[in-house]
Structure 1
Amino acid sequence: MRYQQLNHNWNADPNAPSPHLTVSGQIVQLEFYLNAFQFEQFQEGDKACLAFRNCHKYSFTSLNDEGYYNGQHRYKNHQLPWGYFYELLTDWEVDFPQGAFILERAAGSTQLHHFIFFLRDMTFECVAESWNIQCM
């Protein structure tokens, strides 16, 4: 399993991130509360928005940390540690959850990347061209 962790100086609130997903065309946005306990630059109540551009497909499930550690995910913790935001360096055409929402055909698929974000009570995955984060 190859991956790259993308959130080194931020993360979602570990207790109540309250994620909210919006989709507009091929832009998928995930809004959530930031972890002010671990990262001093944030105060309790600060939010962030992850935006994924040219999103091909996404999955937003209720898989939580308890389910993950009980083997209800296709990865195990020793393969991919729970609780972070990653780019997965896998073949996303094979390695993606069943029942995904497909937004657009995968034209130019060499430019698409597979992302996963483990939140306390949710797991978000998408295949998109790019991402950015904006603190609010």
Structure 2
Amino acid sequence: MTNTLLTTDWNADPNAPEVELTVEGSSVTLNFFVNCFIYEKFKEGDKAKLTFLNCLKYSFNSMNDEGYYMGQYRYKYTDIPWGEFYRLDTNWETDFPARHTTLTDMTDKRNLNHYIFFFKDNTFECIAENYHLEFYRDS
């Protein structure tokens, strides 16, 4: 399996990202605090809004960093380092968490991508056409 790192100049807060997930139609949005400790362009309280567009299915589970390093997930830390956001090159029809939510029944699946984001206390995976990222300050 190959992967593409998508958090090259940003990431989620490593201690308390406080992820909020919302679903609207076939879009899944994650709001969370960003890492202001190592990325100087962010200040404490800055957030990211990561929206997955035309999402076929998603899994937001309780796999945390401790369980991941103990080998309790189907991927190993030697395959994909913890704590980042990736696009995976997999056969996602067979390589996806058994417990998931299906949002739509797409007949044309050629443009879908497999994404995974490792947060401090959760792991998010989805199959979607694309994503949109924006940063903001919660007021």
User: Could you tell which deviates more after superposition, 100-109 or 33-42?
Assistant: 100-109
**1:1-136 aligned within 5 A:** 1-136=1-136
Inter-partner Cα distance in structure 2 for 1:41 and 1:25:
33
In the TM superposition, what whole-angstrom CA distance separates every residue of 1:64-96 from its partner, at most 9, and x where no partner exists?
000000111001111111110000000110100
| Structure 1 stretches lacking a partner, 5+ long | none
Aligned equivalents of 1:107 and 1:39: distance in 2? 41
Q: Secondary structure at the match of 1:96?
A: coil
Task: Output the CA distance in 2 between the equivalents of 1:4 and 1:107.
Answer: 26
Q: 1:109 aligns to what SS in structure 2?
A: coil
Q: For 1:23-77, what per-residue CA distance to the aligned partner results, in whole angstroms no more than 9, with x for missing partners?
A: 0110100000000001000001100010000000000001100000011100111
Q: Provide the rounded CA distance (Å) in 2 between the counterparts of 1:99 and 1:16.
A: 24
Hey, which bits of structure 1, 4+ residues long, moved more than 6 A? none
The TM-score normalised by the length of structure 2 is 0.96
- Aligned identity (percent) is 52
Name the structure where strand makes up a greater proportion of residues: 2
Stretches of structure 2 lacking an aligned partner (at least 5 in a row): none
Supply the RMSD in Å over aligned alpha carbons.
0.6
Counterpart-to-counterpart distance in 1, 2:107 and 2:54: 10
1:107 shift after superposition: 1.9
Q: TM-score, normalised by structure 1?
A: 0.98
